[in-house]
Amino acid sequence: MVKIAPSILSADFVRLENEINKVQKAGADILHLDVMDGHFVPNLTFGLPIIKSIKDHASIPIDVHLMVTNPENFLKELCEWKIDYVSFHQEVNSKEPKHIKLLKENGVKAGLAINPATPVESIFPLISLLDFVLIMSVNPGFGGQSFMPIVYEKIKTLKIFAAKINPSLEIEVDGGINDKTAPKLISIGADILVAGSYIFADDDYKTKIQLLRNSKSCSTI
């Protein structure tokens, strides 16, 4: 069953506690937190203190997506707080195996994120170490952008490769996901769908989450 991860980037930050309570009640599986440093991406969101407050409050798993140049500045605390999923970007050319090892030793699911322009083959050498891969279906930095269909091929390629060497690898897709783009993603085996603007656009989060989750049955693909 696909997991739905609302991105709080599109939530009302003044009412963040209510927003989190509301998506949890609406059936969200995971809470997706977008950390942007104004350097790796041209936007700035929030950092460690807010992540800690959310982790203390939330009753569902937390997924921290680090869109930052220096993921090492975050990992120690994220491990200490037992954050459930943490991903950082392949494009920062950080010390990936070391970071992945640190996360896993602390019981945190370790993920690598890749931008739309980054070939999925570039992370093949690390697939056996990873718990999940986050495939960006928009250029990172902002919510509300249009889904880039090039990711379908990347997901299929990754699925075939992972089946051989790491069958439990989860594939998370992030950006431009709605009831039109979700069905094909589910049918080709995406495990986690992140959605921000689609879920938070109007008040009925429950219907939106259900539409995403059950969209396979409406698929014509």
CA 92/CA 5 separation, integer angstroms: 24
Q: Catalytic residue at 174?
A: yes
Residue closer to ligand DX5, measured from CB, 36 or 162: 36
Please say whether the beta carbons of 58 and 51 come within 8 A. Answer: no
Q: Catalytic residue at 34?
A: yes
34 is a site residue for ligand DX5 (CB under 6 A): yes
**By three-state DSSP, how is residue 15 classified?**
helix
Residues 140-179 within binding reach of Zn ion (CB under 5 A)? 174
Q: How far is the CB of 220 from Zn ion (least distance, A)?
A: 28
Maximum CA pair distance of the chain? 46
Instruction: List the structure tokens of 49.
Output: 């203190």
Our measurement of the distance from residue 46's CA atom to the centroid of its chain's CA atoms, rounded to an integer in Å, reads: 16
Q: Which of 34, 63, 91, 96 binds Zn ion (CB under 5 A)?
A: 34
CA 140/CA 132 separation, integer angstroms: 18
Instruction: List the structure tokens of 218.
Output: 């409406």
140 is a site residue for ligand DX5 (CB under 6 A): yes
User: Interface with ligand DX5 by CB under 6 A: which range of 22-30, 51-59, 175-183, 184-192?
Assistant: 175-183
Q: In the complex, which residues of this chain contact Zn ion (CB under 5 A)? A: 34, 65, 174
Annotated active-site positions, please?
34, 174
Q: In the complex, which residues of this chain contact ligand DX5 (CB under 6 A)? A: 7, 9-10, 32, 34, 65, 138, 140-145, 174-177, 194-198
